[in-house]
Amino acid sequence: MSKAGTFSRRRFFARVFGMLGGINLAGCARARPGVDVDTLEAVLDTLIPADEDPGALEAGVPAAIVKRIENDPVSAKRYRRLLEWVSGRAREAHRCRFAALPLQQRDHLLKELYHSRGSGLAQVRIDLNVVVEQCFH
């Protein structure tokens, strides 16, 4: 819920990266761009879940990201690396796919990555930040 004075992930990201306009690409074909689309959708739904406003899924963000991945090899590499880490960590910690986890556990894994230290995950942390930024463009 988004009430004045309360923490809202959506408001935080909106302030940092600008508002996601009325873009709706939900009608785009569900392509297989060389990344796990189910995990991609779960990551996006975790970052920007639906509340009183549409979430990433309802706003068509996955289709826009798939289009970006198909046309930009650097973006494709970033998404593959992030999604592989997320998938591997979900299997390691919970013995299931990331997309099958409840929202709270998905959120916990992404926070674990965001707050991780050390050079081993530095590039994946950067990838996560780029994904968040691209959700709003």
Write out the two tokens for 106: 């998905």
Return the pLDDT at 28: 38
> Whose CA is closest to 83, among 41, 112, 32, 25?
41
Return the pLDDT at 137: 67
Contact 25, 63 (CB under 8 A): yes
> Whose CA is closest to 3, among 36, 51, 45?
51
The separation between CA 46 and the C-alpha centre of its own chain, rounded to angstroms, equals 6
Return the pLDDT at 136: 73
Distance CA 11, CA 131 (A): 17
Judged on CB neighbours under 10 Å (0-12, 13-18, 19+), 82 is buried
List per-residue pLDDT tens for the chain, 137 residues long. 444 444 555 554 444 344 333 333 343 334 445 789 999 999 999 999 999 999 999 999 999 899 989 999 998 999 999 999 999 999 999 999 999 999 999 999 999 999 998 888 999 999 999 888 887 76
Contact 10, 48 (CB under 8 A): yes
What pTM was computed for the model? 0.74
Return the pLDDT at 9: 56
